[in-house]
Structure 1
Amino acid sequence: MAVTKTIAAPRPVPGVRRSATHSGVIHVRAYQPSHYTIIGNHLAQHRALSLTAIGLAVHILSLPQGAPVDIRSLADRFPEGRDRIAFALRELEAHGYLERVRERVDGGRFVTRTYAHNAPALTRRRVETDEVRNEPVVPVAIVASVTPVAPVALAAPVAAVEAVGGGAAGDSGPEEVPPPSEVPAQGPSSSEHRDKAFALLAGLRRIDDRFTLSRKDVESLLPAVVGWFDNGASRAAVIHAVTADVPVLLKSPAGFLAHRLREGLPPPLPTPPPYEDLPGAPSSASASAPPPPWLDLWTDCEGGCTRVFRESVPDKCCRECRARRAAASPEPPVRTV
């Protein structure tokens, strides 16, 4: 009779706490006194980033200050190719975890510095809070006495402050009306330009997260962008003018954009002269009259070939076709007298 042997139950791994979960990952965490990097779940569990981008961000955040993070250095460190690493860097830059800025150094040279943000949302919120806290408060009397340089962004707020100041001082004089030359023309394309300007300002945050403007800022900057469009500027020209060479520490995005739009406003395009006044343009009399016959020097051969010859003869045949026709025709009979 065979003897039955009992099988002992599997022994638990020593040092690992038992878990009530039946499947999935079970974390085994050990205390690390040093050599560790804190990574937020917003990065480790990001829904829009690829696995390569998340791993590359963790590696960059673990590097010391001044370590090279260019594509060539990362391609030498990891088995992924340069194209895959470049795509992952663009992903991190689009979501705010990386920021590459050109800065001027001693000697007039420009270098590209890479800023790695471990929590871009918290950094952006802290910068916005500091901007609001450090924003200077201008007294009402000073604002009422200042005349704006251009009736672009501060036209409506200044008018409201002047009305409040006039009521407090008891001045009931007539309101100042700007001269007709300063009043923007409301042509048929004003609404179209206004829609284009609103879409441009609202979409600047797609290019740079620092240009995330409120609706009030967009409404105040609309006349400036409409002025660019009225002067003949294209959408690409406006975007390049306001987003090129942006400083690293941008305290007031709306003020920065207003300054760029005001100082870089191009002049309106001159009206082109009529076609008759352009150099080299034929006059109406000469254009209507047929060209002289001696100017038509190039003609097509009508003798059966496709040659173009520079002659003007009645039969419109080239020299070879005339010779061939003369050889094929019989000679006229000689009449004897």
Structure 2
Amino acid sequence: MATEHPSPALRAPASSRPYAKARPGYGKRTASGQRASQAADFALMPERERYVAGYVDRLPDGAAMDIKSLAKSLPLYGQMAVSSALKALGVAGHLRRVRCQTGEGEQVRWVSRTYWSRTARDNEWWDAFLTTEGSSPAPEATPAPPSTDTDPQAPVAASPQSAATSPAAPPEPAPQRTGVTSEPVAASVTHPAPTPPAVPEQRTHGAAQVAPSPAYLALAQLGRADARLALSAADCRVLEPLAAAWFSRGVDADYLTQALTAGLPAQVDSPVGLVRRRLADKLPPQLTSSTGPATAVTRGRRLLAECTECGRPGTPEALPDGLCRGCRTAASDTTPTAPAGPPAERDVHALVGQLRELTRLP
């Protein structure tokens, strides 16, 4: 007789919660010169800072480092506790928050990053590191190379576009047969395979040569940004030279769309007339040659350090320990001082007598 085991089966371990990923360009960045991870890392720090530092150290580059995302992943502490722990880690020399300028030409933006060092660094090391990071060229994101796992000798299937544009391959000659022809062969001869027409190929080839200009595309997108400025194809072709004058002065499509859609009336009777008037009246000024091209500003990657407490930007030298002057002064004012000695003994009977005299006064 089989014996029944009353104990339940072991539960599968719960999967670890995935870390929050930051937007491209933001998040955590590991500083150079890291030593190998050890069990005694952050052992001299308080429990809360050691807990937060251990979690941040295991995060990969590109993970979200804002206070809200860290507080959601750390169940033991809230946002205030995580903020205080990050401030203490910055003072200890483990992290620095910065604002970095990325992009080239007109596509320039500021991103927020947090540089992390498992080894505690002093202010001089951080100043030199951030200065080097700010002067080095910004790395460009390159697309991933195609996979090379396939056999190089295997035939590659042609895409529909390449099949449509490439010339048709000559048909293979039919094998010569002797004797009586069977019925399947006769059917194949009677119904030949249809060949694709050449007219669609010629139209596709002619349309691919003419691409719409950025000015035309920006005008065509106005209707999606605001339905009151919906333009037809003929309207876009008429207004294209006026919009091209904006692009020649260093304006991008987002700036043009915002300038044309800002402060619209409740009802627009003639979208093409309103857009023509705004393109002429709001034409941006021409930049002088002394300012230089826009790409000259982004030769090197500009970098500003941020205060870990309030987020105020500044040079790395002006933010020792990752704190601005105001936050350092506030931290020094709230530093607990040595407790004073015990209060001197007071004559209780004399004090009670004074209180009684005060109550008797009119």
TM-score computed with the length of structure 1 as normaliser: 0.25
Query: Highest Rg: 1 or 2?
Result: 1
- Report 1 or 2 for greater relative contact order, CA contacts < 8 Å, sequence distance ≥ 6: 2
TM-score computed with the length of structure 2 as normaliser: 0.24
